[in-house]
Structure 1
Amino acid sequence: MIIPILLALFLSIIHFFFESYAHHLKKIDFSFISFSSGLFITYIFLSLFPELLTGHSLLGTNVFFIALWGFILFHILEQYVFKYIEDDRNKLKGIIGVRTSAFFINHVVLGLALVFFFKTGKITLGYFSIVPIFSHILSSSLIIEHLHHRVRETLLGRIISSGSLLLGAIIGSIAIIPGPIYYGLFAFMTGVLLYIIIRDTMPTFKQGTPKYFLTGVILYILLLFVESIIV
């Protein structure tokens, strides 16, 4: 599984250096984030969800139940911070902590998913996943920049953040996981990713740019069309 690790390493290096420049892109970030959101939400619905159907043969309808709990648990965690931390300063720290941790887990999950496609013989999908993953990790850097730029001012913080994708790929490559457990984890990861993209990544109200969002959607559909021709 050297290829997905090399791909994850390449994306992690780009991520590391991009974080140094994220604060320079505030004037165009919502347009890019809208584009990335359209690309990634299409990736979830048209690539990740169909993979859950493969897991259905091993886990039955439980595979969708597991995906639901991935979504629910992250929602409950964020709501807990909002409702049960009374001090505004600590609440802000809690929200920043939850969302920064969510993006870290998000990137680990994407690293696992990248390896997953190669392990299950979906080589073309694995390569094509680079496009939505690439745009998503860049947009998540911009979002964290808006939340709190000091989160990643330290070298260690940048290494941990950018290395999370590579960490997920390494774990996925060396771990020997039975099929049912693999698809269970994949379902949970899909639920987590769906929550993150809807709650924390997609621009809201006036911040969003529909034409860029639709451009992202159309681009990934075109990529799938190209994939169908190649395969």
Structure 2
Amino acid sequence: MGFVASVLCMIGFVLIHLFARHLKFLRKRPRSHFLSIAGGISVAYVFLHLLPELADFQESLKGEGILGFIEHHIYLLALLGLVLFYGLEKYVKSSHKGRREDSSLTHNPGVFWVHIGIFTLYNFSIGYLLVREEFTESLGPLAFFVALGVHFITIDISLDEQHDRDYARYGRWLLATAIAVGWAAATFTDLHPFILSYLVALLAGGIILNVMKEELPEESESSFRAFFLGAVVYSLIFIFI
């Protein structure tokens, strides 16, 4: 991605993390159609951009890296990313459920810091990829920004609902900073290609899980039509730009 485009995307992502929690209309039930559209866009981005990119990495890095001896190791890492985020969500939800069932249990800051810590690394990876992504079309960076921007909004709303004051006081600032630090790291350093491929793989798994955990639970009261619309429209735009 060009320098100016990467700077604009980085600033946009930082602003999303700082101010998404103030979008009160996204918290209504049944689930906001915007969030379901965002889920469709994010899934389309994974299948149309990230997974083909993983295929390219898989072909070019055969035999390299820690897991290079495994034929489809890059997809194994994507699966690992999905499992990691699934385990994290189960850990956080079980902690919240325990406090609801036993009012004598106090707030556990450790749960918050583990949760935010993982997402901080997640955001650092995206900040790094901001600079390293390559696009053949001029509108490619815009498509990238839209897909991850709406994904970040979904994550921010979810984290704010789960952690409330802790997220407002610390979490959103850490996530915003991680984007900027990742961008700076990519600007001034070079990662080995197989490390970069691992970041993309973990990101793909993380996005799929984060979208599914927001869209599939019955209590979310999600809109399939909105999800479908987001996926189809973004796919058509992505195919033709």
TM norm structure 2: 0.76
Q: Which residue of 2 aligns with 1:127?
A: 142
Paired residues, number: 223
Deviates most, 159-168 or 82-91: 82-91
- Residue matched to 1:161: 175
Deviations along 1:169-211, one digit per CA (max 9) or x if unpaired, are 2222222122223213322332233222223x33522521111
Deviations 1:104-152 (Å, cap 9, x if unpaired)? Answer: 333333223322313x767653331111111111222221232132123
How much has 1:43 moved relative to structure 2?
0.7
Structure 1 Cα separation of the partners of residues 14 and 95 of structure 2 = 35
Residue 105 of structure 1 corresponds to which residue in structure 2?
A: 121
Match of 1:186 among 192, 200, 206: 200
SS of equivalent to 2:191: coil
Q: CA deviation at 1:36?
A: 0.7
Identity among equivalent pairs (%): 21
The equivalent position to 2:130 in structure 1, one of 109, 114, 129, is 114
Letter in 2 for 1:71: L
AA matched with 2:158:
I
Structure 2: state its 5+ residue gaps.
63-71, 100-104
1:129 aligned counterpart, secondary structure: helix
Determine if contact 1:117/1:123 at 8 Å carries over to the other structure: no
For residues 30-49 of structure 1, the aligned pairs below 5 Å read 30-49=32-51
Q: What's the offset of the Cα at 1:44?
A: 0.7
Query: What is the aligned-residue RMSD (CA, Å)?
Result: 3.1
Is this contact kept in 2: 1:32–1:139, CA < 8 A?
no
Q: Does 1:138 align with 2:145?
A: no
Residue 197, structure 1, aligned to residue 211, structure 2: yes
Q: Give the alignment's TM-score, normalised by structure 1.
A: 0.79
Q: Contact conserved, 1:151 with 1:157, CA < 8 A, in 2?
A: yes
SS at the partner of 1:208?
Answer: coil
1:75 lines up with 2:76 in the alignment: no
Matching residue's letter, 2:200? F
3-state SS of the aligned residue for 2:120? helix
Given that 2:38 and 2:150 are in contact with CA atoms closer than 8 Å, whether structure 1 keeps it comes out as yes
Q: CA deviation at 1:38?
A: 0.8
User: Does the Cα contact within 8 Å between 1:31 and 1:209 map onto a contact in 2?
Assistant: yes
Instruction: Tell me the distance in 1 between the aligned counterparts of 2:164 and 2:90.
Output: 23
- 1:116 alignment partner AA: R
User: How does 1:19-30 map onto structure 2 within 5 Å?
Assistant: 19=21, 21-23=22-24, 25-27=26-28, 30=32
* Kept after mapping to 2: 8 A contact 1:22/1:141: no
Q: Alpha carbons of 1:99 and 1:39: their partners in 2 closer, same or farther (altered >3 Å)?
A: farther
Q: Partner amino acid for 1:136?
A: H
